[in-house]
Structure 1
Amino acid sequence: MHDDTAYSALSEEHEDDARWAYGTGFHDPLHGIDTTVPEGVDGAELGAYCLALGDDALISAQRLAEWCARAPDLEEEMALANIGLDLLGQARMLYTRAGQADGSGRDEDDLAYFRDPAEFRNVRLAELPNGDFAFTIVRLLALSAWRLAVFTRLTASPDPVLAAVAAKGVKELAYHRQYAAEWAVRLGDGTEESRRRMVRAMEEVAPYLEELYAAETCTTIGEEVEAVLRQVAGEAGLAWPRVRPLPGSGRDGGHTEHLAPLLAELQGTARAFPGAAW
Structure 2
Amino acid sequence: MTIHTHQPGEHESAYDGLLVNDAHWAFGTDFEDPLAGVDTTVPDGIDAAELASYCLALGDDALVLSHRLSEWCSRAPDLEEDIALANIALDLLGQARLLLARAAAADPSVVPTLPEGSPVPPEDALAFFRDDRAFRNVPLVELPNGDFAETVCRVLVFATHRLALFERLAAHPDAVLSAVAAKGVKELTYHRDFAGRWFVVLAGGTEESRRRLEAGLARVWAHRHELGVDAEADGVLAHVLATAGVAEPDVRPVVTDGGHTEHLGRMLAEMQSVARAHPRGLW
> What TM-score range do you get, normalising by the shorter chain?
0.7 to 0.9
SS of structure 1 residue aligned to 2:109: coil
- Distance, in Å, in 1 between the alignment partners of 2:133 and 2:238 is 34
Matched with 2:162 is 147
- Distance, in Å, in 2 between the alignment partners of 1:116 and 1:31 is 28
- Distance, in Å, in 2 between the alignment partners of 1:101 and 1:54 is 14
Which one of the candidate residues 175, 181, 204 is aligned to 1:189? Answer: 204
Deviates more, 1:235-244 or 1:110-119: 235-244
Matched with 1:232 is 240
Question: 1:144-223 maps to which residues of 2 (within 5 A)?
Answer: 144-213=159-228, 221=230, 223=231
SS of structure 2 residue aligned to 1:34: coil
- Distance, in Å, in 2 between the alignment partners of 1:190 and 1:234 is 16
Structure 1: give runs of 5+ residues left out of the alignment.
1-27, 214-218
1:38 is matched by which residue type in structure 2? Answer: P
Q: State the 1:105 CA deviation.
A: 7.3
Report 1 or 2 for greater relative contact order, CA contacts < 8 Å, sequence distance ≥ 6: 1
2:102 is matched by which residue type in structure 1? Answer: R
CA contact (8 A) 1:61 1:88 kept: yes
Matched with 1:86 is 91
Q: State the 1:33 CA deviation.
A: 3.9
Percent identity, aligned pairs only?
60
- Distance, in Å, in 1 between the alignment partners of 2:124 and 2:35 is 19
1:76 is matched by which residue type in structure 2? Answer: E
- Distance, in Å, in 2 between the alignment partners of 1:171 and 1:203 is 28
Matched with 1:13 is none
Matched with 1:258 is 263
Q: In 2 relative to 1, CA 105–59 (structure 1 residues): closer, same or farther, beyond 3 Å? A: closer
SS of structure 1 residue aligned to 2:248: coil
- Distance, in Å, in 2 between the alignment partners of 1:183 and 1:133 is 10
Matched with 1:102 is 107
Size of the aligned set, in residue pairs, is: 241
Matched with 1:277 is 282
CA contact (8 A) 1:29 1:168 kept: no
Question: 1:12-27 maps to which residues of 2 (within 5 A)?
Answer: none
Q: TM-score, normalised by structure 1?
A: 0.83
**RMSD after superposition:** 1.7
CA contact (8 A) 2:73 2:86 kept: yes
- Distance, in Å, in 1 between the alignment partners of 2:74 and 2:201 is 22
Asked which structure has the greater CA Rg, the reply is 2
> Is 1:114 matched with 2:129?
yes
- Distance, in Å, in 2 between the alignment partners of 1:208 and 1:50 is 21
Matched with 1:16 is none
Q: In 2 relative to 1, CA 261–109 (structure 1 residues): closer, same or farther, beyond 3 Å? A: same
Q: TM-score, normalised by structure 2?
A: 0.82
Matched with 2:5 is none
Q: State the 1:31 CA deviation.
A: 7.3
CA contact (8 A) 1:60 1:84 kept: yes
